[in-house]
Structure formats: C-alpha cells, structure tokens
Amino acid sequence: MDRRSFVKTSAAAFGGLMLSTHVVEALAQGTGPVKIGLLAPLTGVVAAGGKEIVEGFNLYWTQVGGKVAGRQIVVLVEDDGSNPDIALQKARKLVEQEGVAFLIGDLLANTGLAVAEYAKSNGVPYFMPVVAADDLTQRARVPNVLRVAGYTASQMSRPLADWAYRKKNMRKVVTISQDYTFGYEQCGGFAQVFTGLGGKIAGQFWNPLNTQDFSPYIAQIQSASPDAVFAMETGADANRFIQQWASFGMKDKIPLIGAQNFTDQSVIRTLGPEVEGIVSSAHFAEGNPIPATQKFVSDYQGAYKKLPSIYGFSFYSAAMWLAQAMEAINGQVEDRQKFLAAVREVTLTNSPLGRPVHLDAYGNPVYDVYIRQVVKKPGGGYWNVPLETYPQVSQFWTYKPEEYLKQPSYSRAFQGISKG
Amino acid sequence: MNASKLKIRKTLVMAAIGAVLLALVPLVAPGYRTGLVTQVLIYALLAMSIDIMAGYAGRTSLCHGAIFGTATYVVMYFVTVAGGNVWIGCVLGVLAAMAVSLIAGLLAVRTNGVYFLLLTLALGMVVWGVCVRWTSVTGAENGLRGNVRPDWLADPSRFFYLVLVLSGLLMFAMWRFVSSPFGMSLAGIRESESRMRSLGYDTSRHLLIGFVFSGFVAGVAGALYALFNSFVSPSTVALAQSVMGLLMAILGGIGTLSGGIVGSALIVVLQNVVSSYTERWSMVLGLMFVLVMIFAPEGLIGTLRSRSGRRAARLAQTESQEGRV
C-alpha cells in the first residue's frame, strides 16, 4: 500500500466514524424535550421480549400524547443485542452522545448488571423494569439504579411456596429449573420458604438453557413421586417443557406449578390445552377481571393484536411511574437527585394492576402478588387468572432485610434450604 | 536491498501519519467517540494477534477470544474480588492469557487446516465453559463488575492516549516480529511445513512461539478491555468474540497486519452506528462481508496492497523498457 492509498483508507474510515455521530449535545434545561434512552434487546436470544418492551413503553407515551409536564417525550431506542458488552457501549452512547436524561431497559440480568455498573460510575439514573437479578436492589444496590415497576427473581416465587404448603398441603416438591442465575434465584426463593415451613425439596434438576428433550428429567421427576413439581423455565424451554410434560401423560398425575415466566403470555400465546391448569405466582395477571387490568389488556390488544406479556406490561407501568414522578417535579428531570427522589416517592395507583405499588427502601417495588392459574380465555386462547392474593409482598418476604442480606446470594450451591 | 529499505521507510511514515491522526481524535471528537476509537484500537490488537497466526503461519485460530477474555477475567477478579493493584492485575492477566495460549498451542501446533480450527474452537469453548460454570469465581452469566481504572485514568482522553501508546508499541513489535527471520520461518511453515522440517527447522516449536506471542498481544488487549469496560461476562470469552476478531482480520486482509485496524474500525462502527438505525445491522455486516469477499478477496488492505504492487511492477517494467534502470 502506498502513502496515497493509506491516506485514502484512513480518511474514509475516520470520516465514516465522525460523520455518523454528529453532535447533538443540546442539554435541554427545563422546557425542551425530555430524551429517554431505552435499551432493548432487538437482536439476539431474547429479541422477541425486546420487541414487546418497546411496544409497552411506547404505548403509554402515545396514550398521553407524547407530553408530560408540558415537555415533549423523545424515546431513543438502542439495541443491546442481548449482550452485556453491546449494552454497555449503547448506554455510553445514549448518555454521552445523545445526552439522555436517564436510561431504562434491558432484559437479561447480565446486560442490566453491566449497565448498572456504568450508571454507578456516571450517576445517570437507570431503571430496570424486567432485569430481576436479586442483588441489584439488595447486596449490590446503587442509589441511582431503581427497579421501577420491576421485581426481584426470588420475590415472586415465595408466595407460591406458602400457598403450596398451607393451602394445598403439599409436603414434597421437586424443582426443575434452567441452569443460570435467574433460575437459581427463583428456585431459591421457593425452596427457602417451602422448607422453612417444613416442606421437603425431594430433588432439584438444572437443565441447560435450550434443552430440546426433557424426557430424562421427566422420568426422574416421576420416579421421585412428589406432591408437585415447581418448574422455572423461560421462553422456548418453557414451551417445550409444557408440551413434553403433557405428552408424557404427566399433566393429570403430578400438579405442575411454576415461576411467573413459565406461564407468561410470551410462552402460552402459542400453546393449546396442555397449559390449562398450571399455577404460578406473579404481580400481574392479564386475566384479572378488574377494569384497570382489562382496559390495559384491550388497549394493548388494540395496538398490537396480542395479549400483553410481562415485558409489555412492565414497561407500560414503568412509563406511567416515571411520568408521575416527572409531573411531581414539573418536568425538571435534569436535576438527577430531585428526580430520583420523586421516583422513589411515587405510589402508583392507576397502573393496570389496579392496586397501589410503591418502592421499598432498597429500590424494589412492593406488590400484591397473585397466585394465578391458566384458564381458557373467552373468545380463544389462554390466560392467567388470579386465584388468591398475597398482599404487600416485598423482596424480603417476611424476613428482616438486615438479617436476610447476611445470607449469601442464591446459587446452585445455596438454595436457602433449611435442614430438619 | 534498496527497495526493501524504501518499503520499510514507507511503512514507518504511514504508521507515523496514522499515529498523528489518531492522537488528534480526543481533540476533534471528545467523549463517547473517543471511547469508540479506544475500542477500535483494543479490538485491532485482537484482530492483529489472530492475523499473526492466520496470515503469517497459516493457522487460523478460533480461541483468541478466549485468550483475550482470560486476561479480562483475571484483571477483573484480581482487582474487584481480591482487591489487588490494577497494574499487577494487568500483568497477571497477560501472564494468564499467555498460559492459556501455551496450553492451547502445545495441543494445537501439530495440526493444521480444519483440525487446527476445530482444536482451537474446542479449547476456546473449554475456557467459556469454565467461566459459565465456576460461579463462585467468575460470577457465571452475571460476570464480574466494578471500577478497575485508577482515578488518574478516569478521563476518557487520557485512557485513550494510554491505549494508543501501548497499541502503537505492540503493533510495532508485531510488525518487527513478522518481518524478522523468525517471522519468515513462520511464512515458510505456512507454505510447506514438510520442507521447512526437512531444512532442519523445528516447526512445532516455531509455531508454538508464534502462538504464545500472539496470545501475549491478545492478552494485553484483553487487559485493556477490562480497564475500558469495568465489566466482564462470559460473552467476552465466547466463540462469538473469537469469530469477531477473525472477521475483522479477514475484512482488513489476512496477512497484512494493518488490515486488523481497518477491519476493527469497520465492525465497531457498524455495531454502534448502523444498529441505531436498523435492528438488521448484522445483515448489513453480512452483506458487506460478502461484497468484500467478491470484490476484494484479499481483504480491503490486502487488495489495495496487491493493486499498488501491480502498479509498481508495471512502472518498473516501462522504466526498464525505456532503459532508465
């Protein structure tokens, strides 16, 4: 390569780099549009959920006419690629180049953890309505990272354990879960409460992500003859497990209970009668007959022709939550401390849940959690309908936060199982 | 003799111009874009380390992402979990990367072609597997995080200059390495290993030294990546990382060394800029890759080089016809 062609190539490379990233550093003070940086996995393993994240978030802003406290809302969407390295890079871009007022988003725990670390170093408010990694609002909490309209993984499965032991008199349960942190945490929440009451965990199976064939697990579960099996599977794994469970004829033999993602709309949307009757626990149940929920469900259906999943719901409520905080401070989101304080103070009463929601002192919402069952929806399809309510469930269940935080994080090795 | 001196001078002049241009980056494009160029340099080192083996020794490795990520993991663990000094961590990280490449090299250098590819692929997967399963140390999918960059380096432009100086030194070292007699012997092995062996060269040892040297470069890149990101997770050691490094080297041109810089710039820009406009950015990348393979099969730099080489040959021919030489 001669000098001229070198200059040409380098000029092209750097020209491309500079041009593409034109400077728009208009740090609006007070009256200009509020720029929101939304990170969503639009490519990669959880791309389907990522799309619903954008849908749910935008639905709310459209409903309020794209304006809050007299300021226009501009949502800048970036693809985190289901990959923490890309998520981090995009977070930097949104904050340092686009000058967003705050960040919201991500689905997978590792992407959320990466962005939370960046937010910690930089002070930018970051909200994560779906990232459920326990420690982000527990042992590794950061003041400017809040789980607005989100939940911790172990929070939701605890009421189910209580219900199984007390209401259904189940004493011996087997768990099967995806072999990664989200699974350890949901299973850990269940196992700790269940064994704390005196129940027995007769076995725990950990299947790798993307298990095609569950038959070896199903055979082992059958031979353990438990009172119930607690399943924690997401996405395609949940789909396959439910189908194979039914085709092995287990559906009417051993009761199947699951973590909230197990029977989320994103899973059961494409399934038939094999999902009917599965019990799970969550703060949101799209089949809840109360008007607040049904209005949201029909709005979402009207906009996107499908029932809302946990992803769409969470980001819709998060938008609502942030809008309420913005109203409270007259849209002055540039004052980060004031804005974060306002977000912490919100009690959300008009969300699709129809029940008030607020953050605990650690930045995680306290919910009324439903025990819900999958039933046939009038007009076709299946949805989750509440059976019972556990009011005011926090991420610490009935434990004292200070004492709870002394125990290690849930892992394969530590499931909080009490002996005896 | 004269011609090769001229070539060396040309390369040095080009490198100097490149360095000056890059040194201006924080002035004209501060903040986020300086960060992007920092990332380009770090990945350029990874791509070039792959090119040493792929382009000069004819051994395409699919475990350099794992070697790179090993260094990142060691730095993150040493600083955030063990609470050690960041520079000692970096040294340990590079040593760990070299250890991994030594093990991988010992197993892989006796093979070539598709067997080398598969063996390095498997070794890379082992590293990835360890990072995913050894939860107590690596934090599994959640990874390790925490600020590891010392305060005086917190400013992105300062960090950029550190990366620029280090990568400049390493690139110079790599260039010396491949144009040294030792580098020539690697090229000889690429052309015909049996002939080199019959000439008395210990080909396996040569390949092993080449592999560990390239692992050293990948390790430094990995350690810098830890300082850059303050975060590591299994995606840093995953196969996708190795493939991305290789893709960068191929786009720029295998066996050109400097092609790694161009390839890295292209892919990083594509990943960060095009993806804001369309979620189908990987399709754009694929399309670009196909086009490059059709119209510039030797990679961008490789094709430019052979074109200017042909032109020089033509000029020399006309000159000699005119009887000036």
CB contacts, 8 Å: B18 with chain A? 6, 10
- In this prediction, residue B322 has a pLDDT band, given cuts at 50, 70 and 90, of low
CA atoms within 13 A on the CB side of B258: 19
Tokens of B206: 């040569």
Mean pLDDT estimate for chain A: 88
Q: Which helix (H) or strand (E) holds A365?
A: strand A365-376
Distance CA B82, CA B84 (A): 6
Report yes or no: A99 at the B interface, CB cutoff 8 Å: no
Position B297 pLDDT exceeds 70 = yes
Write the pLDDT tens digit of every residue in A158-206. Answer: 999 999 999 999 999 999 999 888 899 999 999 999 999 999 999 999 9
Q: What is the pLDDT of residue B26?
A: 84
| C-alpha to C-alpha distances, A67 to A57, A59, A73, A77, A344, nearest whole angstrom | 14, 13, 6, 18, 21
Domain ranges of chain B: 2-321
| C-alpha to C-alpha distances, A348 to A110, A296, A365, nearest whole angstrom | 28, 15, 10
CA atoms within 13 A on the CB side of A253: 14
Chain A interface mutation, best of B40, B135, B142, B268, highest count of A Cβ atoms under 10 Å: B142
Residue type, A40: A
The answer on A380 and A331 residing in a single domain is no
CB contacts, 8 Å: B21 with chain A? 10, 14
* CA distance, residue A205 to nearest chain B CA (Å): 15
Write the DSSP string, B214-238: HHHHHHHHHHHHHHHHSEE-GGGTS
Q: What is the pLDDT of residue B2?
A: 66
The answer on A194 and A107 residing in a single domain is no
* CA distance, residue B135 to nearest chain A CA (Å): 8
**A181–B140: do the CB atoms touch at under 8 Å?**
yes
Q: Supply the ipTM of this predicted assembly.
A: 0.81
Report yes or no: A215 at the B interface, CB cutoff 8 Å: no
Report yes or no: A411 at the B interface, CB cutoff 8 Å: yes
Which whole number is the average pLDDT over B125-148?
87
Position B52 pLDDT exceeds 50 = yes
Look at residue A180 and tell me if it is in a domain.
yes
Look at residue A8 and tell me if it is in a domain.
no
Write the pLDDT tens digit of every residue in B158-185. Answer: 999 999 999 999 999 999 999 999 999 9
Which whole number is the average pLDDT over A396-417?
91
Look at residue A11 and tell me if it is in a domain.
no
Which whole number is the average pLDDT over B218-227?
95
> What is the C-alpha R_g of chain B?
20
The answer on A110 and A39 residing in a single domain is yes
The answer on A305 and A188 residing in a single domain is no
Asked whether A103 and A94 are in contact (CB, 8 A), the reply is: yes
Q: What is the pLDDT of residue A82?
A: 86
Chain B interface mutation, best of A4, A17, A96, highest count of B Cβ atoms under 10 Å: A17
| C-alpha to C-alpha distances, B267 to A58, A93, B53, nearest whole angstrom | 30, 16, 21
Write the pLDDT tens digit of every residue in A61-86. Answer: 999 999 898 899 999 999 888 888 88
Q: What is the pLDDT of residue A188?
A: 94
Distance CA B73, CA B49 (A): 19
**A13–B262: do the CB atoms touch at under 8 Å?**
yes
Intra-chain end-to-end CA distance of chain A, in Å: 75
**B143–A7: do the CB atoms touch at under 8 Å?**
no
B36, B235, B279 member nearest A43 (Cβ): B279
Look at residue A94 and tell me if it is in a domain.
yes
pTM of the model: 0.84
Look at residue A342 and tell me if it is in a domain.
yes
Q: What is the pLDDT of residue B323?
A: 55
Look at residue A415 and tell me if it is in a domain.
no
Distance CA A249, CA A245 (A): 7
Q: What is the pLDDT of residue A4?
A: 53
CB pairs under 8 A between A and B: 132
Report yes or no: A84 at the B interface, CB cutoff 8 Å: yes
Question: Domain B2-321 class?
Answer: mainly alpha
If you ran DSSP here, which 8-state letter would residue B80 be given?
I
The whole domain housing A166 covers 154-282+368-404
Domain count, chain A: 2
The answer on A176 and A311 residing in a single domain is no
Buried b (16+ CB within 10 A) or exposed e, B170-189: bbeebbebbbeeebebbbbb
